[in-house]
Amino acid sequence: MDRMPRWADVILIPLISLLLAAIISAGVLLAIGQNPWEALRIMVSGSVGSTYAWGYTLYYATNFMFTGLAVAVASHARLFNIGGEGQAAIGGLGVALVALYLPWPHWSLALIGAVVASALFGAAWAAIPAVLQAKRGSHIVITTIMFNFIAAALLNYLLVGPLKPTGTMETATAPFPEATHVPSFRDMFSFGETILFRGTPANVTFFVAVALCVLVWLLIWKTRLGYEIRAFGFSEGAARYAGIGSTKIIVVTMLISGALAGMMAINNTLGEAERLILNAVEGAGFIGIAVALMGRSHPLGVFLAAILFGILYQGGSELGLMLGIPREMIVVIQALVILFTGALDNMVRMPVERLFARRRARAPLSPPGPTRHPPGRDAAPTSTTPAAE
């Protein structure tokens, strides 16, 4: 029997976690002499109050969708892919190579090429930790986080060496050709003299991320491979007994996870910067962990959690700009949300489970129905003769 209804797990627990984070964040703001209600007003208006605000919110949310899906897919096989940061960075390398060195006649073809290249490079970066886990028993958390540092060092070498344009001091590649520039939200949603999303980095990649949410749902819940991934995650021993190979599931799941993380680069590298720059991922790989946890590793939950974290990031930037709150305090507020929705999930979950358990215990049992004896030798005989007095 489930310890709580599904709606409580998906909706109630995240809402309680957010409320607790908001209460403590309000205390932090009061401690530094700020009005929490004014801060909340600025965060809301700065993140969803205009098309300009939405442009930045959806840009951040797009990054978090890719990395959140990457963590979610791996978690269904009980694998903790903490290497989304490095996989997204290497995915950016794949985007830069195809954008700079292949001739593209139109942005749509360049987008397809970038999707394929970023997925392949991200999957390749996840392949080595996957094989080490499957063949040697090396823990996936340790290997993937180590590969984050290797990816950063590799990009640093390339951007100050082979990929650096001559005559510049910036750690970035040359700008991508104009034919590779994908449409921004301003290009897509401005008509005549009505200019929407002016100056924002949101672009067509947002719809790629939404499409991937649907594809991941189909993969995990509607395909044989998805069933095998979930079966392996529930019980590795039972999956092996059923003929599901652990090596295959570990490697394939990590390849899919790495590909999803790598595709984040089509948003920040191809769509926003239009060149590869150092530290372009900006922590989105780690935020994806909190997004997947808050979204319960379901694509719809990941989508909603990514929007929430996009609001937090854009709203936090507005707080620093409008109220002069130090960046460190904004990071504390964002970290509180991550802390309560991720690391302290059981602190909220366990009391809620006990509450529902007590409600079930107090619920009256339905009275049993009348007993009916089936006809046969054991059934009581029915007599039509009056009993003797």
Contacts of 258 (CB under 8 A, 6+ apart): 70, 81, 83, 87, 122, 123, 124, 125, 126, 127, 130
> Tell me, what's the pLDDT at 194?
84
The string over 214-225, giving b where at least 16 C-beta atoms fall within 10 Å of a residue's C-beta and e elsewhere, is eebbebbeeeee
> Tell me, what's the pLDDT at 383?
45
Provide the pLDDT confidence category of residue 386 given band limits of 50, 70 and 90: very low
Q: Which two tokens stand for residue 248?
A: 């295959």
Whether the CB-CB separation of 310 and 58 falls below 8 Å is answered with yes
Residue with tokens 């005549």: 192
d(CA 48, CA 201) in angstroms, rounded, equals 15
pLDDT (mean) for 153-171: 91
pLDDT higher than 90, residue 59: yes
Residue 191, strand partner residues? 194
Fold of 35-324: ABC transporter involved in vitamin B12 uptake, BtuC (1.10.3470)
Provide the pLDDT confidence category of residue 323 given band limits of 50, 70 and 90: confident
d(CA 318, CA 320) in angstroms, rounded, equals 5
pLDDT higher than 80, residue 182: yes
pLDDT digits (tens, 9 = 90+) for 62-99: 999 999 999 999 999 999 999 999 999 999 999 999 99
- Which residue type does 325 have? I
Q: Which two tokens stand for residue 141?
A: 């958390």
d(CA 264, CA 128) in angstroms, rounded, equals 20
Contacts of 143 (CB under 8 A, 6+ apart): 83, 128, 129, 132, 133
Contacts of 38 (CB under 8 A, 6+ apart): 323
Q: Which two tokens stand for residue 240?
A: 């092996």
DSSP symbols for 227-246: HHHHHHHH-HHHHHHTT--H
d(CA 104, CA 178) in angstroms, rounded, equals 9
DSSP symbols for 327-338: HHHHHHHHHHHH
Q: pTM of the prediction?
A: 0.87
Question: Residue 4's CB: how many other CB atoms inside 10 A?
Answer: 18
Q: Which of 198-202, 236-240, 252-256 has the highest mean pLDDT?
A: 252-256
The tally of CA atoms less than 13 A away on the side-chain side of residue 130 is: 24
pLDDT higher than 80, residue 114: yes
Name the average pLDDT for the chain: 88
